[in-house]
Structure 1
Amino acid sequence: MDDPWAVDWIDPWEAPRRIEDFENASAPASDAPTLGDAGYWPLLRAISMYRNIVEWGGWDSIPAGEERFEEGLVDEVRVPLLRKRLIATGDLESSGGNPTVFDAQLTQALQRFQARNGLLPDGVVGRRTLEALNVSAKARLALLERNLKRINKLKLNLGERYIFVNIAGQKLEAVANGRVERRHRVVIGKVDRQTPEYTSKITFLAFNPYWHVPQSIAEKDILPQVRRDPSYLRRLNMKVYRGYGGSEVNPSTVNWNQVNGRTFLFRQEPGPRNSLGTVKIHFPNPHAVYLHDTPSKSLFGRSVRANSSGCVRVEDVHDLTTWLLDAQGWDRSRVDALVKSGQRKDIYLKKTVPVYMLYLTAWVDEHGVVNFRDDIYGRDSRRASL
């Protein structure tokens, strides 16, 4: 589900320092998927590596200090500690030079660390970067082991073609015959509207869709906006009905202070402001979530993309749509033509495609690099307390 009033914003990191520019761009990318044996064994090897680090004593915490912690700093305590920390996990090769000077090589190593931890790769040890650096080796090992169990639950019978959504990693893989054929960045649910872990099968794609607003969103989002601004529904191209199949209601005749989210059904019409964008990818589930397009494209430039109401917004979704429909003779030009026509149309898959939505906060990526992400939904901390 999407926020109907979301608008594009200019991300100061979008050019040239978008996060993907630093995601091990020099390393060859593998087409090995995250799930199955291809993801399981690299993660197992990473666990072995971190066990060794723990046995060697881990690493020391780095103090914050008062000076800005970035290139050019000379510090006899913090800089050597940062070097040792980055060497321990392979982000920095041991090299010569003055160990107390924050030089260009250390900046590049820090950027690699930041990218694989889902941080803005600015090469500055700010608050969030310092917190990530100071997570103990023992805690990292426990996180790897916890995520290995998550992957292991889905290790068998994934299907010839499937889609995997890494919720915490905010990435999507489209896999065929054991190879990743497409990778997409995604936007996931906010902390108070979390994207669920779920397994289902994609059954159809809705082009130029309506958005039937769920009651919870109508209550929390739509009604407060309408009460503040009576023109809101018109601007967002929304219609009001007396429930599913009911008659249309003229919004100007309603006292919006006397209704709740269950009184009416709100439906947003197809168009450029539609919160689902131009296509919705549907799979049966009890959470009313799906994959979809979005009019707010610049959200994909953020390093943390928890901005939806629970559904998963997909970058370059028409490429993924084409991938889903290519077995039925569709190509990108046919997808684009249907989108451009504005025609409301559902296309059912002749063969359903499994979709796996999993919350991974640690995994080995296509470059063979160990990645960690913040436990933004608190699911790891809840499991650790059990």
Structure 2
Amino acid sequence: MPVAAGALMSLPVRAQDSFWDMMSRGRTLNQTDREANSVAALQAVDTIEPILSFDTANNLQMAIDQYEPFVIAGGWEQVPQESYGLVLGNARDAVIALKRRLISSADMTMSERVDDKFDSTLDASLRRFQARHGLLINGKVDEATWYALNVPAEVRLHQLRLNLLRVQAMTPGLAERYVVVNIPAASIETVEDGMVAHRHTAVVGRIDRQTPILKSRVHEINFNPFWHVPVSIIRRDLIKYMNEDPDYLTKQKIRIYDAQGAELQPTDINWQTDDAVNYSFRQDPGPDNSMGNVKINFHNPYAVYLHDTPTKGLFGENSRFYSSGCVRVDQVQAFVAWILRDNSGWGPAEIASIFASGERKDVAVAKPVEIHTTYITAWANRLGTVSFRDDIYEFDMAGKVDLGA
């Protein structure tokens, strides 16, 4: 249960820098290797256990055992609004509260004296917290970090218990080789022989167009594909875009066809009505194609798939819930190479070549790979690191264990 929406709207303007801020910032920045702190934070979460595995189930149970007495004792304190915007080199009373909060969640080691200086130790601890919560690792108490810090410990315990049941339910039926799209984390794991081969950042369905929970097998790769615009997107988006900009289809290289396959012009359609849903819309292959250079197919009743994207900047955002249900894959060439591992003549070099050439080609996957899209908002690894994500679709709030895949 996140902190009440809009709480940050009333955050006060940050106080003027203190004397320690001004005198210490340059020295502290020079002495602290912030990049190394970020690497250490990522190493704490990036172990080989798949999210769906017996190891994760065991680690979740250990985390529950640790959280239960802590929650009974009262949990952690809320971090005050005055902590918003704190960074390395600051010195304020709010730093003390931030340190106490990070000590409570084991992101920071206990110290004899908790002072008001945002030092290199606190920088490393805050980055670790950000890594565990899937946030941008910047060492700053930004908006997303402030919200995450203030989720109560009892809510986190509820997540651990609920997700243990989900992992336990799904793990026994897994194949030797599989893909997991974890929707709340907007991330993808490729798994083989019980270990993660690669992790990929993803963009998944927004709240009103959710990525469905499913189980299937990846059976085909379409290189440099056409995009056939779904009727739902024609109705919800395309008509609106054309009313805003009559040249939208032309700019996006989207063609219109009638039931007989004859090409129409945008002026042939009445955009003030729903007339457009009676026609087919197809975007040409190319760098601006909504699916980028590749589409990854698996049978399902929802008409969703994985794909590349020309808008790769979205992969660097905190919240990656932008799609209409399909899943965009970062570092997609490596992902496709892993899927086509058993296809002769389709190694990384060949995949890079066809991306560069723009050639249209469909490739059947020699050994179709199992894929799961699922909903795990809390998990733990062998280092004892516990990760959490927001309950974006409110499945946790509804107490869902059987996700229906």
Q: Fold match, TM over 0.5? A: yes
Instruction: Tell me the equivalent position of 1:286.
Output: 301
Q: Which amino acid aligns with 2:328?
A: R
Counterpart secondary structure, 2:310: coil
Distance 1:303 1:17, change over 3 A: farther
Instruction: Tell me the equivalent position of 2:29.
Output: none
Structure 1 residues 73-130: Cα deviation after superposition (integer angstroms, max 9, x where no partner): 5455x44333222112210011245534333322321221122112333333344433
Instruction: Tell me the equivalent position of 1:333.
Output: 349
Q: State which drifts further: 27-36 or 273-282.
A: 27-36
Q: Which amino acid aligns with 1:57?
A: G
Task: Give % identity.
Answer: 40
Distance 1:208 1:37, change over 3 A: same
Distance 1:368 1:59, change over 3 A: closer
Distance 1:228 1:130, change over 3 A: closer
Q: State which drifts further: 33-42 or 255-264.
A: 255-264
Structure 1 residues 18-54: Cα deviation after superposition (integer angstroms, max 9, x where no partner): 9x94572454943221112122111111111111312
Instruction: Tell me the equivalent position of 2:140.
Output: 124
Distance 1:265 1:28, change over 3 A: closer
Instruction: Tell me the equivalent position of 2:74.
Output: 57
Partners of 1:226 and 1:366 in 2: CA distance: 52
Mapped pair 1:253 → 2:268: yes
Unmatched tracts of structure 1, length 5 or more: 1-15
Q: Which amino acid aligns with 1:290?
A: Y
Q: How does 1:1-386 map to 2 (within 5 A)?
A: 21=38, 24-27=41-44, 29-65=46-82, 69-76=86-93, 78-243=94-259, 246-329=261-344, 330-364=346-380, 368-383=384-399
| 1:61, distance to aligned residue in structure 2 (A) | 2.2
Partners of 1:35 and 1:279 in 2: CA distance: 26
Unmatched tracts of structure 2, length 5 or more: 1-32, 401-405
Q: Is the 8 A contact 1:23 1:116 kept in 2?
A: no
| 1:197, distance to aligned residue in structure 2 (A) | 1.4
Q: State the structure with bigger RCO (CA 8 A, min sep 6), 1 or 2.
A: 1
Q: CA RMSD in A?
A: 2.5
Q: Is the 8 A contact 1:22 1:112 kept in 2?
A: no
Q: Which amino acid aligns with 1:222?
A: L
> Structure 2 length as normaliser, TM-score?
0.83
Q: State which drifts further: 114-123 or 212-221.
A: 114-123
Q: Which amino acid aligns with 1:51?
A: E
Q: State which drifts further: 287-296 or 367-376.
A: 367-376
| 1:236, distance to aligned residue in structure 2 (A) | 0.8
Partners of 1:364 and 1:206 in 2: CA distance: 35
Distance 1:166 1:368, change over 3 A: farther
Q: Is the 8 A contact 2:205 2:211 kept in 1?
A: yes
- Higher helix proportion (structure 1 or 2): 2
Q: Is the 8 A contact 1:22 1:121 kept in 2?
A: no
Q: State which drifts further: 345-354 or 359-368.
A: 359-368
Partners of 2:39 and 2:196 in 1: CA distance: 21
| 1:141, distance to aligned residue in structure 2 (A) | 0.6
Q: Is the 8 A contact 1:204 1:349 kept in 2?
A: yes
Q: Is the 8 A contact 1:277 1:293 kept in 2?
A: yes
Q: Which amino acid aligns with 1:168?
A: P
Partners of 2:350 and 2:151 in 1: CA distance: 49
